[in-house]
Structure 1
Amino acid sequence: MTPYFIRQLIIHTICNVTGAAPIEVTALDWVELNTRDWEQVFSRLEATLDIQTGMLTSIERSFSIEKLMHMLHARVTHNIVI
């Protein structure tokens, strides 16, 4: 799974949960979500990627798409069992 695919998945998930347009989401340096949206976004990402991020319990409610992309890519690539 490529970092670009994960980035698109993040953007798609945020848009589905918040109703924001992709261009609005990608224009943000930091994405800020309310608690409900935060839980929805991260539970969907974790379920789709079959990983645990620990972000569901985080008190922080903002993130950089680029940093999140790299973190999720690292988790996904290290969870692969051959």
Structure 2
Amino acid sequence: MTPHFIRQLVIHTICNVTGASHKEVATLEWVKLNTRDWEQVFSRLEATLDIQTGMLISVERSFSIETLMHALYAKLTDNIVT
């Protein structure tokens, strides 16, 4: 799974939860979500990627898509058994 694919998955998930357009979300430097949307986005990402991010319990409700993409990619590659 490439970082680009993960970025697109994050954007797609945010769009599905919030109803925002792909273009709108893709251009955001920071994404700020209410609690319900936060929980939905991270529950879906964790379920899709089969990982635990710890983000569901975070009190912060905003993030950079780029930073999240790199964190998810690192988490996924750490879970690969070679």
TM-score (norm 1): 0.97
Superposition deviation, residue 27 in structure 1: 1.4
DSSP 3-state at the match of 1:59: coil
Letter of the 1:62 partner, please give it.
S
User: Which residue does 2:19 correspond to in 1?
Assistant: 19
Question: What's the CA shift string for 1:20-50, capped at 9, x where partnerless?
Answer: 0001101111000000000000000000001
Which stretches of structure 1, 4 residues or longer, exceed 4 Å deviation after superposition? none
CA shift, 1:81, in A, is: 2.4
Structure 1 residues without counterparts, runs of 5 or longer: none
Over aligned residues, Cα RMSD in angstroms?
Answer: 0.6
Name 1:39's counterpart in structure 2: 39
Count of aligned positions: 82
* 1:7 aligned partner: 7
Q: Deviations over 1:31-74 (max 9, x none)?
A: 00000000000000000001000000000000000000000000
Q: After TM superposition, give the deviation of residue 6 of structure 1 in Å.
A: 0.2
* In structure 1, C-alpha distance between the alignment counterparts of 2:18 and 2:49, rounded to whole Å: 20
